Structure 1
Amino acid sequence: MTLPLPRYEQVKRHILERIERGDYTAGDKLPSENELVRALGVSRMTVNRALRELTEEGHILRRAGMGSFVASRRMRGHAADIVSISAELAERGEDWSAEVLVLEEVQAAKDVAEQFALFPGARLFHLIVVHKGDGVPVELEERWVNPDIAPDMLMQDFTKATPTDYLLAVAPLLRAEHVVRAVGASKAEAARLDAVPGTPCLEIGRRTWTGERVASYARLLYPGDRYELTARFSNVGAGNTN
């Protein structure tokens, strides 16, 4: 026997179904609490809980004195994993495409060389790629790669497979480091991401190692309204014996 859903879950499902059906799209204002109470025949407390949970789950935004609005769809990445952007987009049902802006050999500037524990001027491969989901830019990737780890890097077509996919295929990436910051997009970055200069962005600095050598260093930039980051942990507190 299937038990009926709690009232607040019924309200949530009603709102989500209308969003999925396209009755409401990103940025649209939803009916007020009073309007939902009257239309659905439930209590104000029930509606308030439903809206609160939809907000916590990232489906809607609630603005004091203004009401509730449909949130933009965000791609969710995993802080603890090395996952290709194409796989992340496929997970949310979007088609990946890419525009390669730069693919070259360079002499490393001092700050980049330090990421590899190399001297300035060391030989590195450099690329800049805009990744898109259903044609909308979601990630600006700037990456430097150790040529000894991936000697054929410059011969790859990164509109067919991502740099991450390629590196995972040719190098045993045994260790990774992520540094996450909130930044504003520069004028050039905003243009590449089809965004307004200063748009709040999530920046991930990622280094990966093959053995004891740094294989690549990447700066990944995501518009804040198109991406969110999660982390998964296991055995949390396992080492705490108190």
Structure 2
Amino acid sequence: MPDAVFVAALDMNGAEPLYLQVARHISSLIGKDSRFVDRLPSEAELCRLYAVSRITIRQALASLAERDIVVRQHGRGTFVGSLHRPGRQKTIHSFFDILSSKGLRPEMIMLDYQMRLPPQEVAKAFETVEQALFIRRGYRSEHTPLGVTEVFYPGHLASAITREMASARTSTAILREELGLRVTHADISIGLSRASEDVAQWMKLSEQTTLMRIERITTCAELGVCEYSRLLVSEATADFRIGLNGDIIHNY
């Protein structure tokens, strides 16, 4: 029998291809559902859970494999990719640095700066439900949108991060150079997300377009978690990945 929760995650009559919906939902379950921690369920089991054809499941898994979210091993099954497993890294990079290293001349645009209640996953990382500073920035090169970053800082750091600072400095520079904090490690994971209305508008995409999402939870000495950030990029931009040691790896 199909699983009602899995089936409810899909819009069978929607414009978005069914396999992309399945891929995004699988991505959201990795590391959170006990069936999606190390090895994924078999194709037959996924077909049953989602009540879709084997072709749809294979397309979804192929899409995830292209992004290194899963690794498919012939005769053994599908496994969670190493980048999607919780892991601690000592190096953090700003999206601005990544784009510059690709030979681009990126421009950083402030899109939002406000105090707000953090979403559940951010509040859990900060271990508080108090308001946090939220900053959204858009990145473009030669007027072409490349991506969006969404960053949360705990409330006790908010007063030290001015709008002017956030407009001119990357999140990495704010932590290290402006606040003088020592980053001890960062947990990075990769998944898929639907573009919100604001993000889609900035990136000139249709709303609900599937984007690659890179999440980073940064921990600073003596402070604990000092930053929670998301990088949202389109397929055309995401020709890089971040290795287990934090190095930028280009896909040519």
TM over 0.5: yes
Match of 1:158 among 166, 183, 189: 166
* In 2, Cα distance between equivalents of 1:233 and 1:160: 29
Aligned to 1:103: 113
Q: CA deviation at 1:200?
A: 3.0
Q: CA deviation at 1:196?
A: 2.4
* In 1, Cα distance between equivalents of 2:120 and 2:99: 34
Q: Do residues 210 (structure 1) and 220 (structure 2) align?
A: yes
TM-score by length of 1: 0.56
* In 2, Cα distance between equivalents of 1:177 and 1:132: 26
Aligned to 1:127: 135
* In 2, Cα distance between equivalents of 1:158 and 1:233: 28
Q: Give the 5 Å matches for 1:42-191.
A: 81-118=91-128, 120=129, 122-149=130-157, 151-169=159-177, 170=179, 171-191=181-201
Q: CA deviation at 1:155?
A: 4.1
Q: Label 1:110 to 1:89 Cα distance change in 2 as closer, same or farther (>3 A).
A: closer
Q: CA deviation at 1:92?
A: 1.9
Q: Label 1:204 to 1:216 Cα distance change in 2 as closer, same or farther (>3 A).
A: same
Instruction: Flag the structure with larger Rg.
Output: 1
Aligned to 2:204: 194
Q: Label 1:106 to 1:187 Cα distance change in 2 as closer, same or farther (>3 A).
A: closer
Q: CA deviation at 1:150?
A: 5.9
**Number of matched pairs:** 154
* In 2, Cα distance between equivalents of 1:189 and 1:109: 17
Q: Label 1:95 to 1:158 Cα distance change in 2 as closer, same or farther (>3 A).
A: farther
Q: CA deviation at 1:149?
A: 4.2
Q: CA deviation at 1:161?
A: 2.1
Q: Label 1:87 to 1:194 Cα distance change in 2 as closer, same or farther (>3 A).
A: same
> What amino acid is the match of 1:89?
L
Aligned to 2:238: 227
Deviations 1:118-166 (A, max 9, x none): 1x2x132111111122322212111110243464112433342222221
- Give unpaired runs (5+ residues) of structure 2: 1-87, 246-252
* In 1, Cα distance between equivalents of 2:193 and 2:154: 27
Q: Label 1:165 to 1:135 Cα distance change in 2 as closer, same or farther (>3 A).
A: farther
> What amino acid is the match of 1:221?
L
Secondary structure of the residue aligned to 1:167 is helix
Deviations 1:22-73 (A, max 9, x none): xxxxxxxxxxxxxxxxxxxxxxxxxxxxxxxxxxxxxxxxxxxxxxxxxxxx
TM-score by length of 2: 0.54
Secondary structure of the residue aligned to 1:197 is coil
